[in-house]
């Protein structure tokens, strides 16, 4: 985290129990204006099949706010502000996202809105433009030259998926063929294009066309049977939702697959281990670490006290509830708080200018650059290194941090080719 609060976990645990009293009697670093509050909008799916990428993020933000507020709040100009999150469940629906954006901005007076992005973003986009409000997305594929106030400062989906394939090719060169499936939507298609480019760059043959299944699918046995009939070395589950990854993995296990699996996420993977076995899940590749991983303490990692954050998350919400997004919105808040502090204002355009000054930023996994013009038409994605994670003996372990820009410098033509083929370039999207 870029916010340099210094409270230790022991201090935090002690003070959290008496946080109300603390505002009045403790000795904060700077004068705490108890009535000074800055509200942040959280507009994401909190219910429904995509809620696994919304609700855990809000839970992580609550920890972030408690820590920051207990340490005196965010200093903006000469004032210190408590941070309060105002959530609205968009149910991954564009019309509800539009309603939520209006409410958060007009009624709740938020100064920044964080979204998952994807299908709901077109509903909120006109409001962001009209109200000149700064929004964030976890999906850079939402970016276009028309979205100047939309940034992707943390997750760089789906571009980071190239790092998993690159690592696999370097460490398991005997794997030569793959099959790919994804739900047919705005999350699945650009991710398929990315995996196709990554497999081609790695010299891995993709057998047959990728399978795009209806998001209403509930029986995944026929789909898995179709993929296994091609006898692939690798099954790629693309960016399937957790509700699809789990039954697909179970089907692969039940139908006797013995090869390599790779996926963008493996949310709640402990449950997958329980449903299959440690042996079956051994070596499963995905892109999101547990933050108790010792590798998260590397000097280049910017997320503050990742091990403590993970432990607090598990303490509050339970073991096995950690997901890909548990830390991401909190990481975005680090960038926002740092930029607002340097700008001396919460005014969205000024905060964005401060966020992008110098063309670089402190992304969670290291120094990164504002990037994306060739792919998204605008340099509003913060891109740098990303971890490759594998399940080892039933536990997620970081295998390496690999550079997305370095891959792009060598293979950008492949990415653009496959994005064009699936109509996913910014000028092709409707």
pLDDT, tens only, 355-384? 999 999 999 999 999 999 999 999 999 999
Mean pLDDT of 273-293: 97
- Is 106 inside any structural domain? yes
| Between residues 294 and 20, the one the model is more confident about | 294
- Is 127 inside any structural domain? yes
pLDDT, tens only, 35-57? 699 999 999 999 998 898 899 99
- Is 369 inside any structural domain? yes
Do 182 and 151 share a domain, yes or no?
Answer: no
pLDDT of residue 141: 84
pLDDT of residue 415: 97
Do 317 and 346 share a domain, yes or no?
Answer: yes
- Is 349 inside any structural domain? yes
Do 135 and 177 share a domain, yes or no?
Answer: no
Do 286 and 411 share a domain, yes or no?
Answer: yes
- Is 13 inside any structural domain? no
Do 175 and 246 share a domain, yes or no?
Answer: yes
pLDDT, tens only, 99-158? 999 999 999 999 999 999 988 999 999 999 999 999 999 989 899 999 899 999 998 889
pTM of the model: 0.85
The domain that contains 397 carries what CATH number? 3.40.50.2300
- Is 29 inside any structural domain? no
Residue 2 pLDDT level (bands cut at 50, 70, 90): very low
Domain that holds residue 102: 37-157+297-384
Do 138 and 236 share a domain, yes or no?
Answer: no
pLDDT, tens only, 325-360? 999 999 999 999 999 999 999 999 999 999 999 999
Do 239 and 255 share a domain, yes or no?
Answer: yes
Do 281 and 333 share a domain, yes or no?
Answer: no
Percent of the chain with pLDDT over 90: 83
Do 150 and 108 share a domain, yes or no?
Answer: yes
Do 267 and 416 share a domain, yes or no?
Answer: yes
Does the pLDDT of residue 19 top 90, yes or no?
no
Do 175 and 102 share a domain, yes or no?
Answer: no
Do 76 and 150 share a domain, yes or no?
Answer: yes
Mean of per-residue pLDDT scores for the chain = 90
Counted domains in the chain: 2
pLDDT of residue 15: 31
C-beta atoms surrounding 255 within 10 Å: 12
Does the pLDDT of residue 215 top 70, yes or no?
yes
């Amino acid at each position: 985290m870029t916010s340099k609060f210094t409270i230790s976990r022991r201090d935090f645990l002690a003070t959290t129990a008496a946080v109300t009293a603390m505002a009045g009697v403790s000795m904060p670093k700077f004068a705490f204006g108890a009535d000074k509050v800055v509200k942040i909008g959280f507009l994401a799916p909190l219910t429904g099949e995509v809620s696994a990428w919304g609700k855990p993020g809000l839970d992580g933000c609550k920890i972030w706010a408690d820590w920051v507020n207990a340490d005196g709040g965010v200093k903006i100009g000469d004032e210190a502000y408590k941070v309060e999150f105002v959530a609205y469940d968009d149910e991954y629906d564009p019309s509800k996202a539009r309603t939520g954006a209006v409410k958060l901005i007009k009624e709740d007076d938020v100064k920044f809105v964080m979204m998952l992005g994807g299908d709901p973003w077109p509903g909120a986009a006109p409001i962001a433009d009209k109200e000149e409000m700064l929004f964030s997305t976890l999906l850079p594929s939402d970016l276009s030259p028309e979205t100047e106030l939309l940034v992707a400062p943390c997750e760089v989906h789906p571009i980071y998926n190239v790092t998993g394939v690159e690592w696999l090719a370097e460490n398991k060169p005997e794997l030569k063929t793959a099959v790919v499936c994804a739900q047919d939507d705005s999350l699945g298609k650009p991710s398929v294009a990315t995996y196709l480019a990554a497999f081609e760059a790695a010299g891995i043959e993709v057998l047959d066309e990728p399978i795009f299944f209806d998001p209403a699918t509930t029986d995944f046995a026929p789909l898995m049977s179709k993929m296994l009939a091609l006898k692939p070395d690798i099954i790629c589950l693309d960016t399937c939702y957790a509700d699809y990854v789990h039954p697909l993995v179970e089907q692969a296990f039940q139908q006797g697959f013995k090869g390599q699996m790779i996926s963008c996420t493996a949310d709640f993977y402990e449950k997958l281990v329980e449903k299959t076995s440690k042996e079956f899940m051994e070596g499963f590749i995905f892109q999101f670490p547990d933050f108790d991983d010792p590798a998260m303490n590397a000097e280049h990692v910017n997320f503050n006290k990742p091990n403590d954050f993970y432990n607090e998350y598990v303490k509050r919400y339970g073991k096995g509830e950690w997901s890909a997004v548990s830390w991401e919105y909190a990481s975005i808040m680090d960038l926002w708080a740092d930029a607002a502090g340097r700008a001396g204002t919460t005014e969205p355009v000024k905060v964005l200018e401060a966020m992008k000054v110098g063309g670089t930023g402190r992304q969670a996994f290291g120094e990164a650059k504002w990037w994306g013009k060739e792919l998204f038409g605008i340099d509003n994605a913060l891109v740098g290194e990303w971890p490759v994670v594998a399940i080892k003996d039933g536990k997620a372990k970081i295998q390496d941090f690999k550079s997305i820009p370095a891959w792009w410098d060598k293979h950008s033509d492949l990415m653009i080719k496959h994005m064009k083929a699936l109509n996913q370039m910014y000028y092709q999207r409707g």
